Structure 1
Amino acid sequence: MQRIRAFRARSTPDRPAPLRRAAAPAVAALALLLPATLSGCAAFGGERSGIVVTTNILGDITRSVVGDEADVTVLMQPNANPHSFGVSAQQAAELEEAELLVYNGLGLEEGVLRNVEAAEQAGTPSLEVAAGIDPLDFAEGESAGQPDPHFWTDPVRTGEAVDLIADAIVEQVGGIDEDRVRASADEYRGEVEALHAEAEERFAALPEERRKLVTDHHVFGYLADRYGFEVIGAVVPSGTTLASPSSADLKSLSDAVRDAGVPAVFADSAQPDRLTRVMAEEADLEIEVVPLFTESLTGEDGDAPTYLDMARYNTGAIADALAE
């Protein structure tokens, strides 16, 4: 049987196109029957096997949805940086042999993008999750106007991602019990909705003048939009940790922090916080540097081994730090 090859759609200046378009018109017409963010083809003759997921956050969500119905391989190790992690030659081959590739997209997995594109061109069905949940654009900094990939800080959008992943699994992975996958997805989405309710309650207790966020890079735009926070700025004025601030950037942020009376700066627990502390010292104020789990889960012995654990920890840490 002829293999259908999927090609990456050209991006517009505003945002990358989530739909992967096939070359032949007949295949393009067939693709319209699939979810907008899903692409590629189903497994042919048993050549493909299992689900491969790039980030450990999406890996945890995918495993919660699929249960023991299919094997799930997660590429990103605990405490890794999604902007900089890479894959081995063996993992790259697994991408091309999967029944389904689930990745965050919108530029998050900078070190794996070429492998994702190679897998798509080899015909691997793929789901770019962040492109399918009404993404926001970065509002400021070097990434202003570009789509923000950090959707998981908003549990409502994470619930939408659960449905996208469940749909993709049902469409693309053979030999599964669809009813069990749908039931698992419904149960997990209920847990995510409970998470949102808890966050609403905790953050509602904060007076408006306390709902101000300063982070190590622009990672909480979705949380701010959902729960009514003002983003004062970020130590690295970009949506990626691979950028670097200038002295003028740090001075500008320290002035903004001083003017806003921000009591705490939030930094990723897995990343060095030297620049964050330099900025705090520049502001010449008593500012607490609070570690959060922003872009990666921890191992089982850490405080954020699952997405639900991570989100609850961050909600509590933000609410406690800004209430003082």
Structure 2
Amino acid sequence: MKKKLKAGSKMSFFFLVLTLLFATFTMTACSSAKETSKSNEGKVNVTTTIGMISDVVKEVGGEHVNVIGLMGSGVDPHLYKASQGDIKKLDQADIIFYNGLHLEGKMVEIFERLAKKKPIVAVSDNIDRSTLRLGDENMGTEFDPHIWFNVAHWMKVTESIRDALIEYDPVNKEVYQENAANYINQLEELDSEVREKIASIPESGRVLVTAHDAFGYLGDAYGIKVMGLQGISTASEAGTKDLIDLRNYLVENEIKAVFIESSVPRKAIDAVIQGAREKGHNVEIGGELFSDALGEDGTPEGTYIGMVRHNVNTIVGALK
């Protein structure tokens, strides 16, 4: 009987130790979870598609947002397919911002699914459709999605992002309003700067030839003729006739420079240049432009304003 009591006492002691260990582990885990929660307290977790949108969300949201962008420097959104890691980032976001206008066409189904449980904001939705350029029906695009090349359109995008953040996080409404107002002021200055610099190019030389038709809004808004070898989407391929037609245009109009793009292979443009040379006309690469993606993080071109300024300075430097 005494032996049984001793065994029972040992068992009780053993369970007591296990209980204490479990309680300690639980308290530690809870404490860790609370610390993690505190580190994100008051922050809106935002996931965006292209870098231009990421930059505006950071400007408007300031210290009240955590921003994760899916598409970095040099990434072509027309051809982009979301990875499992991307889907996880989208799932974990409080709110998602994307361009719309079929720019991220391969991600539409994902956005439609997520829209049932969180805000999914197409930043182009508040732009008057009558001011948009027509798209390419063959590629399933009703409108040209490259709206960031008209700075006035990007002001509307800024307002759209501001309003969505306020709706989700009304506590910080005044901060979002002030940040957006300051940023729009910068965009107004940029708009005037672009207009003035493009106007400095002799009218006969205001012809921008690029790898794909991404700069139409720039042309319409600031008075420069734009020609792209490929269509609005890089998913369309330039055929032999496209190459010949563009080569002939360069030769006949004595265009002295064409431009490559950071997110588009330059093979087709090089073929046009070679074709012009065979016709006795020398065409140079005027420089590299950023079309569908920003530059590297930490560089001036890694911001929307810096990207636009780089493009305009490069174009003017080559054509003026």
TM range (shorter): 0.7 to 0.9
Measured on the aligned residues, the alpha-carbon RMSD in Å equals 2.3
Look up the SS of the partner of 2:63 in the other structure: coil
Matched, 1:297 2:305: no
Write the letter of the residue equivalent to 1:269.
S
TM-score (norm. length: structure 1): 0.78
Find 2:121's aligned residue among 117, 127, 130: 127
Write the letter of the residue equivalent to 1:66.
G
Aligned to 1:240: 233
The runs of 5 or more residues in structure 2 that have no matched partner are 1-40
Aligned to 2:219: 224
- Cα deviation 1:146-204 (Å, max 9, x = unaligned): 30000101111111111111011101236x41111111111111111111111111111
Find 1:148's aligned residue among 144, 147, 150: 144
Does the 8 Å contact 1:96/1:118 carry over to 2?
Answer: no
Does the 8 Å contact 2:45/2:66 carry over to 1?
Answer: yes
Does the 8 Å contact 1:137/1:147 carry over to 2?
Answer: yes
Does the 8 Å contact 1:50/1:173 carry over to 2?
Answer: no
Q: Relative to 1, partners in 2 of residues 1:86 and 1:140: Cα closer, same or farther, differing over 3 Å?
A: closer
Does the 8 Å contact 2:211/2:264 carry over to 1?
Answer: no
CA-CA distance at 1:229 after TM superposition: 1.4
Matched, 1:165 2:161: yes
**Structure 2 counterparts to residues 209-288 of structure 1, below 5 A:** 209-231=204-226, 233-236=227-230, 238-284=231-277, 285-288=281-284
What is the number of equivalent residue pairs in this alignment? 273
CA-CA distance at 1:205 after TM superposition: 1.1
Does the 8 Å contact 2:102/2:141 carry over to 1?
Answer: no
CA-CA distance at 1:275 after TM superposition: 0.8
Q: Relative to 1, partners in 2 of residues 1:142 and 1:280: Cα closer, same or farther, differing over 3 Å?
A: farther
Write the letter of the residue equivalent to 2:220.
D
Write the letter of the residue equivalent to 2:156.
E
- Cα deviation 1:241-279 (Å, max 9, x = unaligned): 122111111111111222232221122124321110101
- Cα deviation 1:63-102 (Å, max 9, x = unaligned): 1110011222211122211112232324314324433211
- Cα deviation 1:281-301 (Å, max 9, x = unaligned): 112321122211111112235
Distance 1:255 1:197 in 2: 34
Q: Relative to 1, partners in 2 of residues 1:138 and 1:253: Cα closer, same or farther, differing over 3 Å?
A: farther
Matched, 1:54 2:52: no
Does the 8 Å contact 1:150/1:220 carry over to 2?
Answer: yes
Higher Cα Rg: structure 1 or 2?
Answer: 2
The runs of 5 or more residues in structure 1 that have no matched partner are 1-45
Aligned to 2:80: 85
Distance 1:194 1:159 in 2: 11
**Structure 2 counterparts to residues 9-24 of structure 1, below 5 A:** none
Matched, 1:67 2:66: no
Percentage of pairs with the same residue: 28
Distance 2:209 2:304 in 1: 22
